[in-house]
Structure 1
Amino acid sequence: MARAPSPAGILRAPAVQALLIQALAFPLTLGVVYLSARAGFTVSYLYVALVQGAIALGFTWWRRLAVWWRAIGFGFPLALLAASLLAIPPAVFLVIFLFLLLLYWSTYRTQVPYYPSGRRVWEAVAASLPQGRPLRVIDVGSGLGGFVLELQRQRPESRFEGIELAPLPWLYSHLRARLTRSKARFIRGDYENLNFADYDAVFAYLSPAVMTELYIKAAREMKPGSTLFSYEFVIAGQPPSRIVTLNTDGPKLYLWDF
């Protein structure tokens, strides 16, 4: 199961900081609106949203969050205003919220969104794996399970697994394996709770935000002769042992041999 995050870890998450910034900006917005009304300015909902967005933008810049968080900080109040004008039933918002929660789960903390890899990447990994002996391979952040299921089909003598934190993608991939009678196994949980020493290869298509931590764990735990695969994202200060070019202008597959 997933490890419970610490309060400090949650507060460091950019999404949580952005939410707290909106909460902090709100009383300041009320103050600006009050003073504007006292000064004779016409106060509309659009004016309130613009003031809230401008204050949130300032705090987001002060906290040195990424550029896109500044845009989100400014645009969030305007998006709320636009949504309120659409008069969408609250139940619809609830259904959308629950769906996105089950789909993305703790993306706010891990900073790892859903990145589908694609068949070309699967074939490149399959060609790069050792041949002639059974392997145990895991896909970290396995999403909908396509990579694991395909490689299990190609290498039936080996054991392919996927681990996924978000409930909905995990359930989907688990049911796919059951319905197709695949030997592939899908785990719902946090890869940090795995022991990479149990695997001959670890594949990751995650996010630059976690690649350094992933490499540190792999270097500490993976056994001699094993390989860490990363599609698209390199690891700062750690030159890969091998690079597989899938196409001329596209992302590459990076391999670190231990």
Structure 2
Amino acid sequence: MRRPLWRTPAIQALLILCVALALANLIDLFAEPAGFSISPIWFSLLHGLFAAVIARACRLAVWWLYILFFFPVAALLVSALHLPPWLFLAVFLFLLVLFWSTFRSQVPFYPSGLPVWRAVEELLPKHRVIRFMDIGSGLGGAVLHLARQRPESEFIGIEIAPLPWLVSRLRASLSGNRCSFVRGDYLLLDFADYDVVFAYLSPAAMQTLWSKAKAEMRPGSLLFSYEFEIPGHAPDIVIQPKEHGPILHGWHM
């Protein structure tokens, strides 16, 4: 299951920024009667420093410390450009439909590529019809490719972000491909309905993926994860599709 909204790192980081801003304002409030004037750049640095210290105390991942420290300075520099407000709204809306709930799932947009699709194709069960599910299918490349190579089988992709899902649907329609794409959360699927499940997620999602696959996938089915291992569970299949690139891991369930 997804973690509660307030426990996601992005929401915690936002709350930390708010608390740090209040502390920086408090310092500024006491500095003025004492004859000190804090310039905007020093205020931003103070804001970022408070945020990084609080993030450290809350045990957020180390990269959040750097993000929180530099964010107020970056915001100040961007504001100095005097960009039109509609531009910020446009960028926000574009990122929203592209990444959607990445802040909660911690699974960003990762394209895999043709070498990976071909490696998966070689590992699919031969001489029988299969049902294949790509969880977090992005722009649909893997599903479209595999459906062309195995037209007798059923290939489905699920994507929670609206823009990649829409692009994949359009690509399938325009090419006449018989694969299908649904928009939704893969955690709501029943993995027992599929012979092969392919994932290109993130380290944060792997333990949840394994628990779901172990509980639901039928004996003889296959679970693939590109790049990211499942801690404590050695894969049965290890292939490097791209030279010096990430590993494709596979488990016989």
The normalised TM-score by structure 2 is 0.97
Measured in 2, the distance between the counterparts of 1:217 and 1:27 equals: 42
Measured in 2, the distance between the counterparts of 1:247 and 1:160 equals: 23
Cα displacement string for residues 97-118 of structure 1 (whole angstroms, at most 9, x for unaligned residues): 0000000000000000001101
Q: Is the Cα contact below 8 Å between 2:116 and 2:242 reproduced in 1?
A: no
Letter of the structure 2 residue corresponding to residue 252 of structure 1: I
Measured in 2, the distance between the counterparts of 1:159 and 1:243 equals: 25
Measured in 2, the distance between the counterparts of 1:247 and 1:94 equals: 38
Q: Identify the residue that residue 241 of structure 1 maps to in structure 2.
A: 236
Q: Which runs of 5+ in 2 are unaligned?
A: none
SS at match of 1:132: coil
Residue 187 of structure 1 and its aligned partner are, at CA, apart by 0.7
Q: Identify the residue that residue 156 of structure 2 maps to in structure 1.
A: 161
Q: Identify the residue that residue 106 of structure 2 maps to in structure 1.
A: 111
Alignment equivalent of 2:37, drawn from 31, 39, 42: 42
Cα displacement string for residues 109-133 of structure 1 (whole angstroms, at most 9, x for unaligned residues): 0000001101000000000111111
Q: Identify the residue that residue 252 of structure 2 maps to in structure 1.
A: 257
Cα displacement string for residues 125-173 of structure 1 (whole angstroms, at most 9, x for unaligned residues): 0001111111110101000000000000010001100000000100110
Q: Is the Cα contact below 8 Å between 2:134 and 2:197 reproduced in 1?
A: yes
In the alignment, structure 1 residue 141 sits paired with structure 2 residue 136: yes
SS at match of 2:4: helix
Q: Identify the residue that residue 95 of structure 1 maps to in structure 2.
A: 90
SS at match of 1:236: coil
Residue 9 of structure 1 and its aligned partner are, at CA, apart by 1.0
Measured in 2, the distance between the counterparts of 1:120 and 1:249 equals: 12
Residue 39 of structure 1 and its aligned partner are, at CA, apart by 2.4
Letter of the structure 2 residue corresponding to residue 184 of structure 1: C
In the alignment, structure 1 residue 24 sits paired with structure 2 residue 41: no
Q: Identify the residue that residue 62 of structure 2 maps to in structure 1.
A: 67
SS at match of 1:25: helix
Residue 68 of structure 1 and its aligned partner are, at CA, apart by 0.9
Cα displacement string for residues 183-204 of structure 1 (whole angstroms, at most 9, x for unaligned residues): 1100100001100001000000
Measured in 2, the distance between the counterparts of 1:245 and 1:119 equals: 13
- Closer/same/farther in 2, CA of residues 181 and 247 from structure 1, 3 Å limit: closer
RMSD over aligned Cα, in angstroms?
Answer: 1.2
SS at match of 1:251: coil
Runs of 4+ in structure 1 off by over 6 angstroms are none
In the alignment, structure 1 residue 80 sits paired with structure 2 residue 75: yes
SS at match of 1:86: coil
Q: Identify the residue that residue 225 of structure 2 maps to in structure 1.
A: 230
SS at match of 1:210: helix
Q: Is the Cα contact below 8 Å between 2:115 and 2:242 reproduced in 1?
A: no
Q: Identify the residue that residue 10 of structure 1 maps to in structure 2.
A: 5
SS at match of 2:233: coil
SS at match of 2:165: helix
SS at match of 2:132: strand
Q: Identify the residue that residue 207 of structure 1 maps to in structure 2.
A: 202
In the alignment, structure 1 residue 125 sits paired with structure 2 residue 120: yes
SS at match of 2:251: strand
